[in-house]
Chains A and B, each alone.
Chain A
Amino acid sequence: MREKAVKFGANRGLVGIVAEPTVPVAGKPAVVLLNSGILHHVGASRLYVRVARRLAAAGHATLRFDFSGIGDSEPRRDTLGAAESAVVETREAMDLLQTRKGGTDRFILFGLCSGADMGFKTAGVDERVVGLVQLDPFAYRTRGYYVHHYGPKLVSVDAWRNYVSVRVRRWRAKREAARRVPGAVDEERLEYVAPEYRRIFPPREQTKARLEALLARRVQLLNVFSSGMPDHYNHERQYRDAFADIDFGNQLQVDFIAGAEHTFTYLPDQERVLEIVDRWAQRVFPGSG
């Protein structure tokens, strides 16, 4: 495995790291890793570096890079919005890998949270995408979700106590907000940059239609869920149940790492992610070499 820093994109303002196998393996798609929120291309807990190196060692060329204005990349000079420019820049990243020596026109997009959303969006418009790895992607509540959510709580004294305390906190917060001067700025918060991307899950039917389009193109899907989106997802079967009206055939693998944080901070969870991704890639893209 060897690594090289690259600049690319319309004004060569995008920065990334190509990690590629020392000996190329024929038939392996290249992998592009997409920022989650404002975390730069190293990824939460350095997960992207480790995933990229593991996949490169397994024969995939990989590129982890920063969208414009994030991490090491320059801001764009045009007025394209972040959701649109992310798709443009992901395609530029694919172009870069494709035109390198021994480049391929088959790609896997990998992303956590907003990175997963951008991968999903790009996969819908670029037929070079043959695989999609999404960590904590769009999810939809099912009857099973509510059973898992409320079932254990109905018989727990602590849960009822917590319920009352949350209601009181919300009421206090509401009262506090009503007292605040309209338009007042909390100056302390200006020093924090939280992800500007507001994650809005599209309607289920829209996601279903996009999934069906990807499946028709024979795109392979890997979804890994953490317990970090408790308002949206809480058990392994939920994704398949939410899309019970889709025939995924052998094109979907879903894993749920119970207890994991959204950014997979627990070290054994990171190992699980690495192992899941590595095995999935070897199973569905064994290469022809």
Chain B
Amino acid sequence: MNPFYFGSSKSPLYGVYHPPRAGEGAGKAVLLCYPMGAEYMRAHRAFRQLTTLLVKGGAHVLRFDYFGTGDSAGEGTEATVARWLEDIDVAIDELKETAQTTSVTIVGLRFGGTLAALASTERNDVEQVVLWDPIIDGTQYVQDQLAAHEGERRRRGGPANAETAGVHGFPLTSAMRAAIEPIDLLTWPGGNSRIEIVTSAEREDARDLAGRLAARGRAVRAQVFPSNGNWAESDAFGSALIPQGIIQGVLGCVLGDKVTSA
């Protein structure tokens, strides 16, 4: 495991690169894209576990923090969707160089899945993109975030329609809201990657997305792995969610028959 900073020296990104376990041989290179806000904290341990399993299966793994999140440079209020998409581009190149591969798989959870999809569109070196409980409807997602903010605002006060809304401890700026709201993955054309949509429960919008992508001639598969998927929940003590069923599902999507057990 190698924790390091990469990208622009003015606003470096924090990442942790995990080489494949010795003796497993060179395998896939997998980039993990976290969700945003409090969901990032809640998912950190699940990403560690997924990483451990991928590495055992012979994969190179890079997980990293977008600008303004985690240990990367910047304040949360400075983050933008456009910058995060650039960050994924930079991370893909970093991973390819480190792992000495020509293509990568991207696994993104929740809004990280949405970003992974969008970032893969124009690239020819993303072999596979795995959308794990993805946010498909940006408008609905922002509404859900604002509902959480409103609950806190009622308890603690603060102006309605604030420029920056606090959502479970993380800032959501009006610029970020404006960038997320128009996102509708149902209109996403898909790119050159194989697309896996994995959800922890049956979701009509996920089936719809898979159907539309298939109709556009994309290689797509949608699977359900019944698990806890309440990523948006938050508590006062910072519990983590580690949904074993869907972690194994994601692992299967990435490694195929090379799946190892925990």
Interface residues of A (CB under 8 A from B): 3-7, 15, 17, 36-42, 44-46, 49, 71-72, 74, 113, 188, 190-195, 228, 259, 261-268, 270
With a cutoff of 8 Å between Cβ atoms, the chain B residues found around residue A7 in the complex are 1, 3
With a cutoff of 8 Å between Cβ atoms, the chain B residues found around residue A5 in the complex are 3-5, 14, 71
User: Contact mask B67-92 → A, CB, 8 Å, 1/0?
Assistant: 00111010010000000000000000
User: How far is B243's CA from A4's CA once the two chains are assembled, in angstroms?
Assistant: 32
Asked if A45 and B170 make an inter-chain contact with CB atoms under 8 angstroms apart, the answer reads: yes
Asked if B1 and A72 make an inter-chain contact with CB atoms under 8 angstroms apart, the answer reads: yes
Q: Which residue of the partner chain B has the closest CB to A40? A: B44
Smallest CB–CB gap between A40 and chain B, Å? 5
Given the interface pairs A3-B71, A44-B169, A72-B16, the reply to whether A263 lies near B238 with Cβ below 8 Å is yes
Q: Which residue of the partner chain B has the closest CB to A269? A: B156
Counting residue pairs across A and B whose Cβ atoms lie within 8 Å, the total is 105
Candidate in A41, A72, A74 with the most chain B CB atoms within 10 angstroms: A72
A17-B71, A113-B237, A268-B156 are known; give 12 further A-B pairs, CB within 8 A.
A38-B45, A38-B240, A45-B169, A46-B170, A49-B70, A72-B48, A191-B241, A191-B242, A192-B228, A259-B156, A263-B236, A266-B152
User: How far is B227's CA from A167's CA once the two chains are assembled, in angstroms?
Assistant: 33
Q: Which residue of the partner chain B has the closest CB to A1? A: B73
Asked if B166 and A267 make an inter-chain contact with CB atoms under 8 angstroms apart, the answer reads: yes
Q: Which of B1, B16, B70 contacts A42 (CB 8 A)?
A: B70
Interface residues of B (CB under 8 A from A): 1, 3-5, 12, 14, 16, 38, 41, 44-45, 48, 69-71, 73, 76, 152, 155-156, 158, 164, 166, 168-171, 227-228, 234, 236-244
User: How far is B228's CA from A190's CA once the two chains are assembled, in angstroms?
Assistant: 11
Asked if B227 and A194 make an inter-chain contact with CB atoms under 8 angstroms apart, the answer reads: no
Asked if A265 and B168 make an inter-chain contact with CB atoms under 8 angstroms apart, the answer reads: yes
Given the interface pairs A42-B41, A46-B76, A193-B45, the reply to whether A4 lies near B5 with Cβ below 8 Å is yes
With a cutoff of 8 Å between Cβ atoms, the chain B residues found around residue A71 in the complex are 44, 48
Q: Which residue of the partner chain A has the closest CB to B166? A: A267
Given the interface pairs A49-B71, A192-B242, A266-B156, the reply to whether A15 lies near B1 with Cβ below 8 Å is yes
Smallest CB–CB gap between B155 and chain A, Å? 8
User: How far is B236's CA from A228's CA once the two chains are assembled, in angstroms?
Assistant: 8
Given the interface pairs A71-B44, A267-B164, the reply to whether A262 lies near B237 with Cβ below 8 Å is yes
Asked if A3 and B70 make an inter-chain contact with CB atoms under 8 angstroms apart, the answer reads: no
With a cutoff of 8 Å between Cβ atoms, the chain A residues found around residue B237 in the complex are 37, 113, 194-195, 262-263
Given the interface pairs A45-B170, A49-B71, A191-B242, the reply to whether A265 lies near B3 with Cβ below 8 Å is no
Smallest CB–CB gap between B173 and chain A, Å? 11
Asked if A74 and B5 make an inter-chain contact with CB atoms under 8 angstroms apart, the answer reads: no
Asked if B243 and A191 make an inter-chain contact with CB atoms under 8 angstroms apart, the answer reads: yes
With a cutoff of 8 Å between Cβ atoms, the chain A residues found around residue B70 in the complex are 42, 46, 49
Asked if A263 and B1 make an inter-chain contact with CB atoms under 8 angstroms apart, the answer reads: no
User: How far is B238's CA from A228's CA once the two chains are assembled, in angstroms?
Assistant: 13
Given the interface pairs A72-B1, A72-B16, the reply to whether A191 lies near B169 with Cβ below 8 Å is no
Asked if A268 and B158 make an inter-chain contact with CB atoms under 8 angstroms apart, the answer reads: yes
User: How far is B164's CA from A153's CA once the two chains are assembled, in angstroms?
Assistant: 35
Asked if B242 and A193 make an inter-chain contact with CB atoms under 8 angstroms apart, the answer reads: yes
Q: Which residue of the partner chain A has the closest CB to B69? A: A46
Q: Which of A15, A42, A193, A265 contacts B166 (CB 8 A)?
A: A265
With a cutoff of 8 Å between Cβ atoms, the chain A residues found around residue B239 in the complex are 38, 192-195
With a cutoff of 8 Å between Cβ atoms, the chain A residues found around residue B170 in the complex are 45-46
Asked if A191 and B228 make an inter-chain contact with CB atoms under 8 angstroms apart, the answer reads: yes
With a cutoff of 8 Å between Cβ atoms, the chain B residues found around residue A262 in the complex are 236-237
User: How far is B228's CA from A267's CA once the two chains are assembled, in angstroms?
Assistant: 28
Smallest CB–CB gap between A15 and chain B, Å? 5
With a cutoff of 8 Å between Cβ atoms, the chain A residues found around residue B14 in the complex are 5, 17
User: How far is B12's CA from A44's CA once the two chains are assembled, in angstroms?
Assistant: 22
Smallest CB–CB gap between A200 and chain B, Å? 16
Smallest CB–CB gap between A245 and chain B, Å? 32
Asked if B236 and A261 make an inter-chain contact with CB atoms under 8 angstroms apart, the answer reads: yes
With a cutoff of 8 Å between Cβ atoms, the chain A residues found around residue B238 in the complex are 36-39, 44, 195, 263
With a cutoff of 8 Å between Cβ atoms, the chain A residues found around residue B152 in the complex are 265-266
With a cutoff of 8 Å between Cβ atoms, the chain A residues found around residue B48 in the complex are 71-72
User: How far is B71's CA from A3's CA once the two chains are assembled, in angstroms?
Assistant: 9
User: How far is B158's CA from A41's CA once the two chains are assembled, in angstroms?
Assistant: 29
Smallest CB–CB gap between B153 and chain A, Å? 9
